[in-house]
């Protein structure tokens, strides 16, 4: 198939903004593509898939390609580049005004363009720049002005004509008489429209997840709160939501690969995870998923995400990084096991099979915290604990649902505090009971309203008996009592009134309207994040107006 026929498509696509027209143009082209369908689909999107490798031709190198192909000085090219703003158009211009007509002109085919570009990332080592330049130049020498424009843009991965995902999906469906939903599903499993088009043409879109090919993973939707999330499913599981990096591990015999949620191969960055997967996955062949976290080397408890991101990005001195930034993985999914696709199985089955094949290595390679309950109290306790140990929240999962790759279909619901923390003033407290009777327990919090402080809730979460390793700045109940006792101005039974002086940073899940408090609002699941005694005065605390504003933002934010 001639490359010029693809150029016609580009021109037609550029000439219309209507999605349906774009779909019809592409569909007709795909139908005609015959043996080059795979390449035609990719090139129509301005892409040549090169796996993890990059094409490796940047603007500077492309300028040298243009110099060499048309025998033009760099200065003139730069001048044109300034005028036109795009190297594709520069190549088009010089192709039109070519001094020497090319004698070796052969008609370019889609295969030739695709194959030459696909070779580029494979060229490495000495003389690689020259080799790359001549490979692209070879294409340009045979190209018409318009062809040059699109070849340059494709090599630079900057096509400038937007061919949206949905248009390609619908064009494949339309060309081969398939349901766009099926096409979309197959894309999630393969993340490759070229292959999907071939499958659609052959009439079988029943894509399966494939070992060692990345897939789009299942995603979670946001739930407004725990109660509603639990109510959504007949049989819910509650899992801790960890703030880490999703890893998808593919294993067959001794071969293992690790992919990210963005379909990148990250095997090289995680030799530790690779070796645990070898030892701890008791299956000949499987695909499992989990959340990778950076951890403290001694306690194996999570450290903030920024540590982990250094690990993900680093591609050299890996062994040093493994020592500096130890990790652990908490596994939560199984989508393939010993030749069987588990995506159609309910979560209940996937989780039970996962448990069977994972030989845990605590603190390194382990199963995620998972309970199965519909009881709000039990789930709340689990949720509070997750927040107290610094995790993001929980994910409520439907135990009866299958695995839906790449979509937020509502089989998983995430519940996490969505709001930015508030700085509130402690205006009261309550003496504890029993053994802890000498310490103040829950705190009464207030927001500022002009010069007054209006109560807006009580907080007991985050008030701890013993020093926390994860958050050593958090005071113990005893320390808190020492700070607050001198400020007590009145006592009524177990309740004390406190002079408004101490500001605390409070996290919570959501703001609710409440007639119980003079601000008219209450916080759901408030918890102490830190003391702000040295940084903030009561007059710096958040106001009732701030709470009102956050409340209305939150309503818009909920999905």
Binding site for ligand AMP (CB under 6 A): 219-220, 239, 241-242, 246, 261, 291, 332, 368, 395, 414
Least CB distance to ligand AMP at residue 293 (A): 9
Query: Is there a contact between 370 and 358 (Cβ–Cβ < 8 Å)?
Result: no
**Displacement of CA 312 from its chain's centroid (Å):** 13
Smallest separation (angstroms) from ligand AMP to the CB of 343:
15
Strand blocks (E) in 35-155: none
> In the bound complex, which residue of the shown chain has the CB atom lying closest to ligand AMP?
246
Closest by CA to 76, choosing from 63, 65, 88, 89, is 63
**What DSSP string runs through 211-245?**
TTS--PPP--EE-S-HHHHHHH-SSEEEEEE--SE
CB 392, min distance to ligand AMP, A: 7
User: What is the nearest approach in angstroms of ligand AMP to the Cβ of residue 272?
Assistant: 19
Between the alpha carbon of residue 161 and those of residues 91, 113, 171, the distances in Å are: 17, 18, 16
How many residues appear in the chain? 559
Least Cβ distance, residue 417 to ligand AMP (angstroms): 13
Q: How far is the CB of 246 from ligand AMP (least distance, A)?
A: 3
Q: Locate tokens 């045979």: which residue?
A: 142
In the complex with ligand AMP, the residue whose CB is nearer, 368 or 544, is: 368
Residue 306, H or E segment: helix 305-313
Grouping H, G, I as helix, E, B as strand and the rest as coil, residue 323 is: helix
Q: Which region holds residue 34: left if phi is over 0, alpha if psi is between -120 and 50, else beta? A: left
390 SS3 class: coil
The one catalytic residue in 22, 146, 241, 414 is 241
What's the CA angle centered on 78, arms 73 and 83, to 5 degrees? 130
Rg of the chain (C-alpha set): 30
Smallest separation, CB 220 to ligand AMP (Å):
5
Helix (H, G, I), strand (E, B) or coil at 116: helix
Nearer to ligand AMP by Cβ, of 46 and 405: the residue is 405
Indicate the residue among 109 and 309 with the shorter CB distance to ligand AMP: 309
- Cβ closest to ligand AMP, residue 145 vs residue 406: 406
397 in active site: no
Q: Which is nearer to ligand AMP, 189 or 242 (CB)?
A: 242
Q: Which is nearer to ligand AMP, 350 or 414 (CB)?
A: 414
Contacts of 215 (CB under 8 A, 6+ apart): 188, 189, 190, 191, 209, 248, 263, 335, 405, 406
Identify which of residues 391 and 505 has a Cβ nearer to ligand AMP in the complex: 391
Residues marked active site are found at: 241
């Amino acid at each position: 198939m001639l490359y010029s026929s693809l150029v016609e498509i580009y021109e037609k696509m550029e000439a219309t903004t209507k999605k349906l027209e774009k779909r019809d143009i592409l569909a007709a082209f795909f139908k005609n593509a015959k043996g080059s369908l795979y390449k035609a689909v990719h090139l129509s999107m301005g892409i040549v898939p090169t796996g993890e490798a990059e094409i490796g031709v940047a603007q500077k190198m492309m300028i040298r390609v243009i110099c060499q192909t048309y025998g033009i000085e760099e200065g003139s090219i730069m001048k044109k580049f300034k005028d036109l703003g795009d190297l594709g158009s520069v190549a088009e211009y010089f192709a039109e005004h070519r001094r020497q007509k090319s004698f070796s002109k052969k008609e370019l085919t889609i295969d030739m363009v695709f194959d030459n570009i696909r070779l580029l990332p494979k060229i490495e080592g000495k003389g690689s720049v020259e080799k790359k330049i001549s490979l692209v130049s070879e294409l340009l020498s045979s190209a018409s002005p318009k062809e040059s424009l699109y070849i340059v843009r494709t090599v630079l991965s900057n096509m400038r004509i937007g061919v949206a995902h949905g248009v390609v999906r619908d064009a494949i469906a339309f060309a081969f008489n398939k349901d766009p939903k099926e096409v979309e599903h197959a894309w999630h499993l393969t993340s490759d429209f070229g292959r999907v088009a071939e499958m659609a043409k052959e009439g079988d879109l029943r894509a399966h997840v494939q070992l060692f090919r990345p897939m789009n993973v299942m995603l979670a939707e946001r739930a407004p709160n725990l109660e509603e999330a639990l109510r959504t499913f007949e049989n819910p599981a509650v899992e801790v939501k960890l703030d880490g990096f999703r890893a998808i591990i593919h294993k067959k015999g001794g071969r293992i690969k690790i992919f990210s949620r963005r379909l990148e191969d990250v095997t090289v960055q995680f030799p530790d995870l690779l070796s645990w997967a070898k030892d701890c996955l008791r299956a000949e062949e499987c695909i499992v998923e989990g959340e990778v976290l950076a951890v403290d080397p001694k306690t194996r408890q999570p450290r903030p995400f920024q540590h982990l991101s250094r690990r993900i990005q680093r591609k050299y001195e890996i062994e040093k990084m493994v020592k500096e930034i130890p990790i652990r993985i908490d596994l939560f999914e199984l989508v393939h096991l010993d030749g069987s696709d588990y995506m159609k199985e309910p979560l209940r089955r996937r989780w039970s099979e996962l448990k069977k094949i994972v030989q845990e290595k605590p603190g390194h390679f382990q199963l995620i915290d998972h309970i199965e309950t519909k009881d709000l109290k039990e789930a709340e306790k689990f949720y509070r604990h997750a927040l107290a140990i610094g995790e993001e929240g929980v994910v409520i999962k439907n135990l009866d649902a299958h695995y839906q790759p790449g979509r937020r279909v509502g089989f998983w619901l995430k519940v996490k505090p969505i709001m930015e923390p508030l700085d509130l003033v402690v205006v009261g407290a309550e003496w504890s009971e029993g053994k802890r009777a000498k310490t103040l327990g829950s705190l009464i919090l207030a927001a500022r309203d002009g010069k007054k402080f209006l109560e807006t809730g009580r907080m007991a979460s985050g008030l701890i008996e013993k020093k926390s390793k994860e958050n050593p700045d958090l005071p113990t109940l005893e320390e808190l009592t020492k700070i607050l006792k001198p400020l007590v101005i009145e006592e009524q039974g177990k309740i004390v009134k406190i002079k408004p002086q101490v500001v605390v940073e409070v996290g919570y899940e959501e703001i609710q309207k409440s007639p119980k408090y003079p601000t008219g609002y209450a916080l759901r699941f408030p918890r102490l994040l830190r003391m702000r005694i040295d940084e903030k005065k009561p007059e710096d605390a958040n106001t009732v107006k701030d709470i009102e504003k956050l409340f209305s933002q939150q309503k818009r934010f909920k999905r």
